[in-house]
Structures are given as C-alpha cells and as structure tokens.
Structure 1
Amino acid sequence: MSCEEPIKNENARGIDVSRWQGNIDWACVAGAGITHAIAKMTEGGDYTDPTFVENFQGMKANGLKAGVYHYFRALSSTPCEQLANIKARLAEVDFKLGQDILAIDVETNRNEGATADQMADALFQLVTLVRVSLLEGAYPHIYASPNIWNNRVAWRQYDFSECPLWIANWNVAEPTVPDTWSKQGKSWQWWQHSSKGQVDGIRGAVDLNWVRP
C-alpha cells in the first residue's frame, strides 16, 4: 500500500437502536451499508422496549446480523427476574443461538443507588444465568464505557473477560479497553464510537458502531 492510498477500515458498520429512533426503514438502513444492528429489548425485570419486535424482525428481514440488548438494573429487580424478562421476550422473535448477539448494557443511569460491589455481584449473577439458561454456555456481550466499568463496577471480584466487549467510547481515535479484557490479551468486538450518527432510514441521531469481523 502506498502512502497516498487511504487507510481502509476493515471493520463492519453497525448501529444500535431503541424506541428513541422511532419507526425505522430497515431496507434503507441496509442500503446505506449498515450490516450489523442491535435493538434494545428489555430493562430490569419488567420493561420491554415497545419497538423491539419490529426492529429485530426488520433487521433480519433485510439481511443484517442482528442482536438484542438488555439494560441491566442492579437493585430494582433480581437477576432471576431479569432473566425471566429476557427469556419471555426472546420467545417472541426468531433469536438464533450461536448467530444472534445478546448483550447486557451496564450503565449508571437508574443504577445510581448501587455500590460498585452491588453492581458487580448482580451483573455476575445475571451473566451466569444467561450463559447457563439461555446461551448454552456461551457468554453474553457486555456493553460499558471505560469510565463506568473501571469506577462503578467492582470488576476485580469476578472474571468478566470471557464476555465479548462492546465498548462505548466516543470522540477518540481508538477506544480504551479496560484491564478486565486487555490484561487477558483481549480487545473489543463492538465499538460504539458515536451517539450522533446519521443513517438513511432513521430520523434523527443514532449510535454508530464499528464491528470486528
């Protein structure tokens, strides 16, 4: 490759969506070159995103590699209640084990009252339940920002490194991979690099991701 040639990004283009994106034209999204997408599915023990089924079916019908995410709640519901919610919603769609992604979204919003130990304890329980009861031994992805993971989750108490990393790190040339993964010689699988993307078929802003092959 000569110095004049542009550097090619070998990563696939992905987005993640929820009810905030409204009605999505998935055919237009696919036509815009988006090949991967993850839809918000559930939160805690009793919430379902109202656009989940429509979004997941739209992704699959238009050939996108599809995924779902569950917004983790450390205190308002138990890991078992959250597992039941995830199971019930997955039963409504054609979720393919070994093919489709299931991610657990770890944030501090609506988890403000939880200590770092409580975050880690409940998250590890939920990861274990999902792995054993739903994914036949496979690990769910973990979504988190470097700051929240390092400072609001007592991650040293457990080995989360088997969970593929979906890192949220905006406005940087390269994301910061937390020690949980980097010290095991691992890196990110999904990188949410912007929250202000514009994609054909979606009105308003949408999260943009790079996805490693």
Structure 2
Amino acid sequence: MEIKGIDVSAWNGVIDWQKVANYGMGFAILRITEKGNKTDSTFERNYAGCITHSIPVGVYKYSYATNISEIKYEAETVINVLKQRKLDYPVFLDIEDKCQENLSQDLMIQMIDTFRDIIIRAGYKFGIYCGYYWYKTKLPEKAKKYDCWLAAYPSQDDGTMQIRLKPAAGIGWQYSSKATIPGISGKVDRNVFYKDYTATKNEDKGETTMDKAIEKVILIAKNEEGYLEKKSNSQLDSKTANAGSANFTKYWRDIEPSYQGQPWCAAFVSWCFMKAFGLEKAKKLLKHWPYVYCPTLGNLFTRNANPKIGDIVIFYHNGTFTHTGLVTAVIGDRFYTIEGNTSGASGIIANGGGVCAKSYLNSQMPGTKFCTPDYSIVSDASAPAKPENTSSNTTQTGEEYMFEPKTVKAGDKNTSVLLLQEILKSRGFKGKNKKDLDLDWEAGDNTIYALKQYQKSRGLDVDGVCGSATWKDLIAI
C-alpha cells in the first residue's frame, strides 16, 4: 500500500487547497510551530484548507530543544496550538537539528519520550521525522520502535521517486523536496506513506458507529464557530460579512426559509445534523423536522440531568427551555458546547448573534436538560466530515474526555491550566490583583493566588499546586 502526500509550511506560501484536492492528495503534514515556538504563519489557513477539502492531515514540529525542559515546552506548545482539534495523521517530532548532533543517546531518547508522552496523553498519534542518514547514525535504537518518516532524495532532485534511494526502514518516505503540485507555487516536499492512519484510527481507538457519528456532527458544528447573523438576507454564506442583528442566517435559508429573521439557535442544531447525515437521517435523529423550538425537543426525548458528548442541551432559563446547543465534551461537572445565536459572554445567552464555543458547570444550571439522539441509527458515519478551524479533538465517548487533568504548578502553560482557571473563575476566586482570572493558559501569580484561596477554603494543603487531591475536590463539586 502506498499513499502519496505532501508536507508544507510558510515556505510554500498561500496554497490553493481546492486545486490540491482536485489533483488528488492522500494526506498533508503541516508545520505547526517554527523557531521560537511561534505558530507557523500559514498553519491555520493550511489546516482549514485540508479540513474543508477532506484531505487527511497531520502536523510536524521541527525541534530546537537540547534538554528535557525545552522539549517539554515544545510539545505543550503544539498541544496548545492544536486546541484539541482533530488530526488524522500523527504529530511528528522532527529531531535532527545541528544543535542536537552531540546529544547523548540517553538524553535524546528521554527527550523523545517526553515529547511523545505529552502528545499521546492529549489524544494524538506520535511519530518521528528525520533524514535517513540521521536515522542510521544519530537516532537512538530505542526510538526506532516508533513510527518513523524518513527523508532521502537525490542531489539531482527532479520531483520524481527514485526507488533506488528508498529507505530500508520507516512507515513513510519523503522522496523529493522539489515536486510540482497544482495549487502550490514553486516546489514542495513529496512523500509516500506505507501506513494508512485513516484506516486504522477507529480500530486503534475502539470507536463504534455511534462514536464516529457523534464526531461527525461535532466537527460540522465546530466548523461554524465565528459565524455572525446578518442584517439582511444577503451574504449569508460569509462568516462575518453583512453582520447585523436581524437573525438572517444560512441556517434558516437551508432548513426553513420562511422562518428567516427568527431566533436561530435550534435551527443551527438542525442544520448541523442535516449537513452531517442528510435530511432523512436528521429527521430520525431529532424525531421531528425541523427542530426550531426547545420545548418540543424536550417533549420528544428523555430529559437527562447529566450531559454526554453528542447530547443536545436545552437550557432552562426564566421558567422555560429557552436556548440550545450541542455538547462537545464533558470533564467532571463541566460540559462544553457549540451554540448558535449566542455570544462569548458567560452564562446562557439566547439571541446573541453568533456561533460560539462555551462551557458551563452543570451543578450551576438547575433545570437544564440533555437529550441524547439515537446515533446508532446512523450507518454511514465512517468518514466524518472534516470542517475548518475545528478546536476540539473529540475522540471521547460517554462522560470520558481525551485527557486527564495534569498537576498544575507555577509557571505551567497547558490545557490543564486553562481548565483550572475556568473552574476557579466560575466559582468566584479572583487573582492577586482582585480581578477575574484571565483564561490565558498560564499559571502565573494570579492563578496560583486564586488556587491557594480555593485550597484554603476547602481545607486542603495550601501549597499552590493543583495535584490529584485538589483536582478531585475541584471536579467533585
């Protein structure tokens, strides 16, 4: 089996992914961060292009680390940039820089394993990229058990595959740096992989048809983040053009044009299901069509008190079910959503004008219920839609999440810090500056101060470290 693809970065400029897809592309591996741990200036655009045009995607990180601390920070930065978005192919660690030539074998394998552990814990696959010569002479033997993608091409590189140079190892071969592909100006790296990650992912994760269906509709919803309602019935397909407050949207246009101009949170949910599974299956999943009124849905489904990923939440406010969205993740008491006709402000915001990702503490939402569609009726969800700008890697099922919160201490910068900040902020614990915590992913003075205040209020050890005991207390409330 051979699957041909490309790897790209800012060096390749602006790419026309429609042309790339039309040419035929088995995968694309994108540079995610560059020197200084800055996000590659083309990553977001390239990721969106791949997802929009259904090109399987992975990422690579060119490492400049020379010790454990530095490579740990590189890995955490990668995870923070990904923001839980879906990848088909691994996160490849490119470890072959000149600054790493004289590292001991013991240190290098420790660095590789440190990077790998962070990637795997975040729910992604891991691999190593390097030149074939580096693989043979520098890469530790213990690292060769991992999936290795190796570069080997001739000095007179004309973009074609020279079989005589094929490495004797590895799951992938970068065989040219001077290939020509429609949609890409100049030359581009060309690769062939001998492992189909898209074919093995569901087996590896033990996913069921229901899991894949849930993933599919969530990815559709994630694609719509940032969409703003329009002031008139024009430019409906643009996320931001003609923005206004008159409730005109593409969602009403596509599911029930006669309702155009009405509040559209439920219409957004209906639209996502229709886009994911088609009209007839959407009708079955929602038990009626179109879903436009929260109490109607609540009367058709069992109204559960606790959320699960893939549920439709119906928010209870001022004595009635008044707003709705799709549950994308659950961690302890906190559930995460994508909602239409809301805003990024905290709390239930009905008729807010946009599509936003939000989160809530279920214990602070009395009356709010969760309706679970029968995803088992969907039999064609094996190829999830892959939308642009997705911000969640939704590989979890039930009430499990793709990572367990890690110990947080001063100076840490990762997803666990963000979760801690969200919980502390929602419970009223302020920073040393007496202000609400910034959700900045960094355990600075204000976050640690608020953490200590929480620990003191709960009778825990006031050490400013959010370890297992503190996490257990935070999530149990």
Contact (CA 8 Å) 1:74, 1:114: kept in 2 or not? Answer: no
Residues 123 and 47 (structure 1), Cα distance of their counterparts in 2 relative to 1, 3 Å cut? farther
Q: Which residue of 1 aligns with 2:95?
A: 106
Alpha-carbon deviation of 1:106?
2.2
Residues 43 and 82, structure 1, Cα contact 8 Å, conserved in 2: no
The unaligned stretches of length 5 or more in structure 1 are: 1-9, 178-186
Query: Measured at CA, do residues 90 and 122 of structure 1 come closer, stay the same or move farther in structure 2, by a change above 3 Å?
Result: farther
- Deviation at residue 138 of structure 1 after TM alignment: 6.7
Structure 2: how far apart are the matches of 1:198 and 1:15?
Answer: 10
TM-superposition CA deviations, 1:57-86 (whole Å, max 9, x none):
211111111000000113387122212211
Deviation, structure 1 residue 125:
3.3
The CA deviation at 1:149 is 2.5
**What is the alpha-carbon distance in structure 1 between the residues aligned to residue 20 and residue 120 of structure 2?**
28
Contact 2:151 2:173 in 1 (8 A): yes
1:154-165 mapped onto 2 (5 Å cutoff): 155-156=140-141, 159-165=142-148
Q: TM-score, normalised by structure 2?
A: 0.36
Q: Which structure shows the bigger proportion of residues in helix conformation? A: 2
Alignment partner, residue 198 of structure 1? 180
Question: Residue 109 of structure 2 aligns to which amino acid in structure 1?
Answer: F
Structure 2 residue 2 is matched with structure 1 residue 17: no
Contact 1:72 1:123 in 2 (8 A): no
| In 1, Cα distance between equivalents of 2:173 and 2:9 | 17
What SS does the corresponding residue of 2:79 show, helix, strand or coil? helix
Q: Which runs of 5+ in 2 are unaligned?
A: 155-161, 197-477
1:125 and 1:116, CA in 2 relative to 1: closer, same or farther beyond 3 A? closer
2:44 to 43, 53, 56: 53
* Aligned Cα root-mean-square deviation (Å): 2.4
Q: Which amino acid aligns with 2:184?
A: I
Matches within 5 A, 1:59-70: 59-70=50-61
Would the alpha carbon gap of residues 195 and 130 (structure 1) be closer, same or farther in structure 2, given more than 3 Å must change?
same
**Structure 1 residue 11: Cα displacement:** 1.1
Alpha carbons of 1:126 and 1:162: their partners in 2 closer, same or farther (altered >3 Å)? same
Q: Where do 1:127-206 residues align within 5 Å? A: 127-136=112-121, 140-151=126-137, 153=138, 155-156=140-141, 159-171=142-154, 172-173=162-163, 174-177=165-168, 187-206=169-188
- For residue 5 of structure 2, give the secondary structure of its aligned residue in structure 1: strand
Aligned-pair distance for 1:49? 0.9
Secondary structure (helix, strand or coil) at the match of 1:78 reads helix
1:67 partner SS: strand
Tell me if structure 2 keeps the 8 A contact 1:44–1:82: no
* Aligned: 1:208 with 2:178: no
Q: CA deviation at 1:139?
A: 5.5
Length, aligned pairs only: 185
Q: Which 4+ runs in 1 deviate beyond 4 A?
A: 120-123
Bigger share in strand: 1
In the TM superposition, residue 100 of structure 1 has moved relative to its aligned partner by 3.2
Identity across the alignment (%) = 28
Q: Distance in 2 between matches of 1:143 and 1:12?
A: 17
Instruction: Quote the residue 2:85 is aligned against.
Output: 94
Q: TM-score, normalised by structure 1?
A: 0.76
Radius of gyration: which is bigger?
2
